[in-house]
């Protein structure tokens, strides 16, 4: 998306460990890090959540892949309902896919306040909870008396998901069925994403039925790991450790440091 906005032409991705230099003689490429023995392991959460829908990531349009996720989610977890509602913005494309595949009309149920940032990466729980109400306004006219399928990209700690379900019910929804366009996040990330210790990840301690009860939904369905990688022909070139615990590097030396840092924010580590 950034390249198109400045009128640039996409040539290729910069490889992991690669340094690309442009000077008066042209382009020069060199590598300052050896590729890992098991090959590259790109973060699939870029496709699920972080990337803009008009971006091209891993050779695919983000919006198109997220629509496929929504379609696959509707196949894996169908439900009788009156409307499909997205949690904006990262849930928009998957909600469209769920609506197209299921035939259930897509409605605006949430309106996002774009001046509030991402809630799951806020360090304090009280900040995350208060930001949920500030970030999203509900539209009762779209929800009152209806069975609602609400589509979101992920559930990390579960508190924001529960508050969203509560707000849909407060707006008059008769039923609330939650559908998530990625698998349950069960393991912490050691590569830069703010997924906390396993004990703080709701799916790390609870099964799907228990998470469903915690968030107070009528039903809950996650996209399968197989469904997540269908658009790419398999999981071979991706890191999916947050879902299955298969880390692409040895984390034995960093696990303790990460836990110590998260339990004591004032601690400074020499990394």
CATH classification at residue 159: 3.40.50.2020
pLDDT of residue 271: 35
Phi, psi of 196 (to 5 degrees): -75, -165
What is the number of structural domains in the chain? 2
Say whether both 27 and 144 belong to one domain: no
Strand pairing partners for 152? 180
* Rounded Cα–Cα distance for residues 91 and 70 (Å): 9
Average pLDDT, the chain: 88
Say whether both 18 and 144 belong to one domain: no
Q: 118-122, 185-189, 245-249 — which is least confidently predicted?
A: 118-122
Residue 210 resides in a domain: yes
Residue 260 resides in a domain: no
Whether the pLDDT of residue 179 is over 70: the answer is yes
Residue 254 resides in a domain: no
Say whether both 14 and 118 belong to one domain: no
- pLDDT-based confidence at residue 9 (cuts at 50, 70, 90): confident
Say whether both 23 and 145 belong to one domain: no
pLDDT of residue 16: 79
Please name which of 117, 228, 230, 132 lies closest in space to residue 181, comparing C-alpha atoms.
228
Whether the pLDDT of residue 244 is over 70: the answer is yes
Whether the pLDDT of residue 122 is over 60: the answer is no
pLDDT of residue 21: 96
Residue 49 resides in a domain: yes
The alpha-helical segments, DSSP class H, found in the chain are: 2-5, 45, 62-76, 92-102, 125-135, 140-143, 159-170, 202-205, 208-215, 225-228, 241-244, 255-263
Q: Out of 20-34, 171-185, 195-209, 240-254, give the one with best mean pLDDT.
A: 171-185
Q: How large is the average pLDDT for residues 202-219?
A: 97
Say whether both 27 and 84 belong to one domain: no
CA 59 to each of CA 12, 47, 232: distance values in angstroms, whole numbers, following the listed order:
9, 11, 9
Q: Summarize pLDDT for 136-167 with one digit per residue, the tens.
A: 999 999 999 999 999 999 999 999 999 999 99
Question: How many CA atoms are closer than 13 Å to the CA of 5, on its beta-carbon side?
Answer: 4
Residue 84 resides in a domain: yes
Say whether both 206 and 82 belong to one domain: yes
Say whether both 241 and 124 belong to one domain: yes
More confident residue, 255 or 45: 45
Say whether both 16 and 91 belong to one domain: no
**CB neighbour list of residue 200: distance below 8 Å, 6 or more residues apart:** 157
Phi, psi of 190 (to 5 degrees): -110, 15
107 neighbors 85 (Cβ within 8 angstroms): yes
Residue 262 resides in a domain: no
Question: How many CA atoms are closer than 13 Å to the CA of 44, on its beta-carbon side?
Answer: 30
Q: How large is the average pLDDT for residues 107-123?
A: 74
Q: 40-44, 62-66, 213-217 — which is least confidently predicted?
A: 40-44
pLDDT of residue 190: 87
Say whether both 110 and 139 belong to one domain: yes
pLDDT of residue 267: 44
Say whether both 71 and 186 belong to one domain: yes
Say whether both 84 and 217 belong to one domain: yes
State the Cα angle at 185 between 172 and 111, rounded to 5°. 35
* Rounded Cα–Cα distance for residues 221 and 178 (Å): 6
Residue 269 resides in a domain: no
Residue 62 resides in a domain: yes
Where on the phi/psi map is residue 200: left (φ > 0), alpha (ψ -120 to 50), or beta?
Answer: alpha
Say whether both 15 and 60 belong to one domain: no
Domain extent for 137: 42-246
148 neighbors 168 (Cβ within 8 angstroms): yes
């Amino acid at each position: 998306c950034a390249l198109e906005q400045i009128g640039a032409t996409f040539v290729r991705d910069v490889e992991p460990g690669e340094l690309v230099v442009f000077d008066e003689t042209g382009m020069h490429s060199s590598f300052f890090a050896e590729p890992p023995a098991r090959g590259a392991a790109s973060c699939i959460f870029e496709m699920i959540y972080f990337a803009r829908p008009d971006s091209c990531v891993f050779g695919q349009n983000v919006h198109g892949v997220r629509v496929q996720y929504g379609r696959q989610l509707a196949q894996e977890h169908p439900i009788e309902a009156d409307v499909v509602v997205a949690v904006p913005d990262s849930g928009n494309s998957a909600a469209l896919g769920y609506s197209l595949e299921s035939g259930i009309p897509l409605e605006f149920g949430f309106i996002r306040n774009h001046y509030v940032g991402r809630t799951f990466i806020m360090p304090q729980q009280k900040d995350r909870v208060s930001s949920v109400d500030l970030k999203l306004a509900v539209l009762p006219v779209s929800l009152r008396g209806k069975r609602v399928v609400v589509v979101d990209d992920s559930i990390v700690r579960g508190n924001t998901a529960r508050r969203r379900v509560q707000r849909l019910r407060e707006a008059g929804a008769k039923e609330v069925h939650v559908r998530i366009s990625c698998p349950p996040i069960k393991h912490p990330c050691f590569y830069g994403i703010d997924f906390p210790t396993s004990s703080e990840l709701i799916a790390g301690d609870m099964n799907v039925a228990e998470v469903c009860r915690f968030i107070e939904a009528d039903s809950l369905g996650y996209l399968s790991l197989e469904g997540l990688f269908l658009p790419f022909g398999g999981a071979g070139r991706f890191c999916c450790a947050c879902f299955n615990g298969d880390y692409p590097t040895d984390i034995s030396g960093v696990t303790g440091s990460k836990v110590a840092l998260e339990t004591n924010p004032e601690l400074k580590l020499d990394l």
